Structure 1
Amino acid sequence: MEQTGTIFEAIGGFDTIDRLVTAFYKRVGKHPKLVPIFPEDLTETARKQRLFLTQFFGGPKLYSEERGNPMMRRRHLPFAITPSRKDAWLECMHAALEEAEIAEPYRTAIFEKLTMTAHHMMNTPE
């Protein structure tokens, strides 16, 4: 497969994003620190994250086409994102990256990008 240099293509595109998001929300739905700020039914949340991560990692701009500018921090302001919730989110994502079998160096690159994003989302002290 011809690579044009995006993480999205390098990890295998939509199928890998789908595996990652499925593995992630399986954990989020059970995490005691995250359950209070996520809906009981994670179907729509996961669908939006698939769109966002596809775009975030260099794939088609599906999120923007459907929802406009991502403005992730603004979209997350209604939720109390504390340092411990940020850590819980990253813990779930780290495990999901392993379960989705994303190879290095992409696993680390993805986790670093998402760690920066998670820090930016914090909006509430403990």
Structure 2
Amino acid sequence: MPGGARVSPLQRAHLPAQFLSLSAVSDAGADAAGADTTASSGDGSAWGAGGLTLGGSLADAVEQPPTVYAAVGGQRFFDDLVDRFYDAVESDELLRPMYPADLVPSRHRLAGFLAQYWGGPADYSAKRGHPRLRMRHMPFAIGVAERNAWMRHMLASLEAASLPDGSPLDPDIAQAMFAHFDNAATHLINQPG
């Protein structure tokens, strides 16, 4: 990914088939036995492995599948998803006390985190460093009830989601997002019972 941003396994594993393509240049730098005959200066000008030689940078030689971020239309999708979620949190008697009075910074952080996680720009990490989700949530008592309330609002927001052009969210992408939210919310439980 550009800028060293990580691509989540869910992002790769749950994309619809049309997003999972890979192509490379021919073995122009390989001899008849398939051995790499190109020299690498260590600057990315050539790369070879097992008879497959990719000239130029790897990014130039490999057609990257679109990210979920691109497939959903970019930042606007995540801003809308998070706005619907926090609109529900504002009136939730269990969750609201866990958040600061002004939810605007929380909205920006969550939207930025999700955008980056799903393949968008690494703005979240540039501003806040590694997410350290469990550490950042440790000051809050999160039990099963809080996890379930959080999931209820996020699932409702995800079910209401559409692409910027109004078309529905691809079901495979919605399922990948649900799986991510489910796993993350469960991981943040820090109270018994």
TM-score (norm 2): 0.61
Matched, 1:103 2:170: yes
Matched, 1:24 2:85: yes
112, 124, 148: which is aligned to 1:87?
148
Deviation track 1:61-89 (CA, whole Å, cap 9, x = no partner) reads: 11110001111110110111111100100
In the other structure, the counterpart of 2:186 is 119
121, 145, 163: which is aligned to 1:60?
121
- The total of aligned residue pairs comes to 125
Q: What is the DSSP-based 3-state SS (H/G/I as helix, E as strand, rest coil) of the residue aligned with 1:87?
A: helix
In terms of fraction of residues, the more helix-rich structure is 1
2:170 alignment partner AA: A
5+ long unaligned stretches in structure 1: none
In the other structure, the counterpart of 1:46 is 107
Instruction: Check the 8 A contact 1:23/1:100 in 2, yes or no.
Output: no
Quote the Cα distance in structure 1 between the aligned partners of 2:138 and 2:80. Answer: 27
Runs of 4+ in 1 over 3 A off after TM superposition: none
Percent of residue pairs bearing the same amino acid type: 38
The structural deviation recorded for 1:4 is: 2.5
- Across the aligned residues of Structure 1 and Structure 2, the Cα RMSD in angstroms comes to 1.6
5+ long unaligned stretches in structure 2: 1-63, 163-168
Instruction: Check the 8 A contact 1:27/1:92 in 2, yes or no.
Output: yes
Instruction: Check the 8 A contact 1:25/1:46 in 2, yes or no.
Output: yes
